[in-house]
């Protein structure tokens, strides 16, 4: 008897959870990803701000599934999907047949019709992007130290973060702490504590998906860190020298993007119905509409919730969907009962001892929320070594105000200068 061939594309939270549920079963599972590691995306901003090293939040996929004989990992990027022949092809030319196809390729940043801005304002979505942001940020202070012109020095010491959602808030808080503490004693001709950190949000408040009381707290906590919060100020242009906001130019040495995401491009290979943001439309059991034996989950899918509104693009949504789909596929070919999302709280950290947690019926902020945020993120990391490494870095940073990963990578610096 031939085992069912299940191909999972994407080893993020959703794809990894689905594969784990199928590990050790009679299904023949192929897990394909363009990188050889699972990445804990929620902590990428800490790599970008030198709090953590890349290895702290990434784990090789083969190491996760090495003991399971029915899980095969493939390094590659999908270039074609033939739903009639039930095959997919990757960039090296290899073709993989499937009985069931699961798409979990996540999302990428959206620049709202201005893809040219990405060159000047990357967002922390991959390890390479986080390393380039860290290099750009640290290099700007090195150049400010050597600058003779006061205006150029001020420009280099101005950091603009675009987007007031969780990524932007966390990034702004981390940069604020970096400039006020970790870098403060390292330079002789400049004072990093005098750096200008600006957080730009097009809407009327930060963290729009959170209750207003938590949004207000986040704004106050950021301002205590020296961050200037600019609300109702959409960005009009971004170039190598800074940003245009409300008809006024802000010269900046570093611009970081965190204003919105869109689904990865794999939906276009399916020839399936897509939403405006590129998400694949799926039914309540995560089956792609109009196609048989094809499922999509996580950020790449537009999944209706119990109230009929699409579920948010959160790691906990993708993880629960992966577990649901994996368990269903382990038992049969088709999930029968609809997927139901159980909200375990939405969170954002602002800085040392400051975070917000929204559990729906009640909210938590301040030190307890910050501690809860840290415990949950450590728990969700894959691998004991990763947990140990992150905890040790955090304890050291907390006790000393130091950042141990302040490395300027030569190849990234070359890209910036080119």
Q: Which residues are catalytic?
A: 170
| Cα 273 from chain centroid (whole Å) | 25
Separation between Cα atoms, residue 5 and residue 240, nearest integer Å: 49
- Are 177 and 137 contacting, i.e. CB atoms less than 8 angstroms apart? no
Nearest to 270 by CA among 290, 285, 284, 297: 290
CB within 8 Å of 346: residues ≥ 6 apart: 166, 209, 210, 312, 314, 357, 358
C-alpha triplet 324, 328, 329: angle, nearest 5°: 120
DSSP symbol at 208? T
Residue 248 token pair:
């006024």
- For residues 40 and 127, give the distance between their C-alpha atoms in angstroms, rounded to a whole number: 10
Kindly report the number of other CB atoms within 10 A of residue 46's CB atom: 28
Judge whether 137 and 49 are in contact, CB under 8 Å.
yes
The answer to whether the beta carbons of residues 160 and 250 sit under 8 Å apart is yes
Alpha carbon distance 47, 204 (integer Å): 29
Cβ atoms of residues 299 and 318 within 8 Å: yes
Structure tokens at 317: 């949504």
Distance, C-alpha 319 to centroid of its chain: 14
Say if CB 375 and CB 369 are below 8 A apart: no
Q: Which two tokens stand for residue 170?
A: 């966390």
In 265-382, which ranges are E strands? 280-281, 294-296, 301-302, 346-351, 354-358, 363-365
**CA 153/CA 126 separation, integer angstroms:** 29
Contact assessment for residue 368 and residue 346, using Cβ atoms and an 8 Å cutoff: no
Q: Rounded to the nearest 5 degrees, what angle is found at the Cα of 146, between the Cα atoms of 145 and 147?
A: 100
Burial label for 222, CB within 10 Å (0-12, 13-18, 19+), is buried
């Amino acid at each position: 008897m031939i085992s069912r061939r299940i191909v999972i594309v994407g080893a993020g939270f959703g794809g990894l959870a689905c594969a784990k549920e199928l590990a050790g079963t009679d299904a023949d599972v192929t897990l394909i990803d363009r990188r050889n590691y699972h990445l804990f995306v929620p902590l990428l901003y800490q790599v970008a701000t030198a709090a953590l090293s890349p290895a702290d939040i990434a784990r090789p996929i083969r190491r996760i599934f090495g003991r399971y004989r029915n899980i095969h990992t493939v390094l590659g990027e999908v270039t074609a999907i033939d739903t009639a022949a039930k095959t997919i092809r990757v960039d090296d030319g290899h073709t993989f047949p499937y009985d069931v196809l699961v798409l979990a390729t996540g999302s990428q940043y959206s620049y709202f019709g201005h893809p040219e801005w990405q060159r000047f304002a990357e967002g922390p979505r991959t390890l390479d992007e986080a390393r380039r942001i860290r290099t750009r940020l640290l290099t700007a202070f090195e150049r400010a130290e050597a600058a003779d012109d006061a205006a150029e020095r001020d420009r280099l010491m101005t950091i603009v973060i675009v987007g007031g959602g969780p990524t932007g808030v966390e990034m702004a808080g981390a940069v604020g702490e970096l400039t006020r503490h970790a870098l403060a004693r390292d330079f002789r001709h400049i004072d990093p504590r005098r750096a200008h950190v600006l957080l730009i949000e097009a809407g009327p408040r930060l963290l729009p998906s959170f209750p207003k009381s938590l949004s207000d707290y986040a704004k106050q906590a950021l301002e205590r860190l020296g961050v200037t919060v600019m609300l109702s100020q959409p960005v009009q242009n971004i170039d190598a020298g800074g940003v245009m906001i409300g008809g006024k130019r802000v010269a900046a040495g570093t611009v970081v993007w965190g204003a919105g995401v869109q689904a990865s491009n794999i939906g276009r290979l399916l020839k399936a119905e897509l939403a405006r943001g590129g998400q694949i439309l799926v039914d309540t059991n995560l089956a792609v509409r109009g196609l048989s034996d094809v499922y999509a989950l996580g950020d790449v899918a537009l999944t209706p919730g119990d109230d009929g509104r699409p579920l948010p693009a959160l790691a906990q949504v993708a993880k629960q969907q992966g577990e649901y789909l994996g368990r269903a596929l382990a038992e049969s070919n088709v999930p029968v009962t609809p997927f139901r999302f159980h909200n375990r709280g939405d969170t954002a950290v602002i800085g040392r001892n400051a975070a917000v947690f929204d559990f729906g019926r009640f909210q938590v902020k301040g030190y307890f929320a910050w501690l809860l945020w840290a415990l949950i993120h450590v728990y969700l990391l894959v691998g004991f070594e990763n947990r140990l490494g992150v905890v040790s870095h955090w304890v050291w940073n907390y006790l000393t105000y130091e950042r141990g990963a302040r490395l300027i990578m030569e190849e990234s610096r070359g890209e910036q200068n080119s």
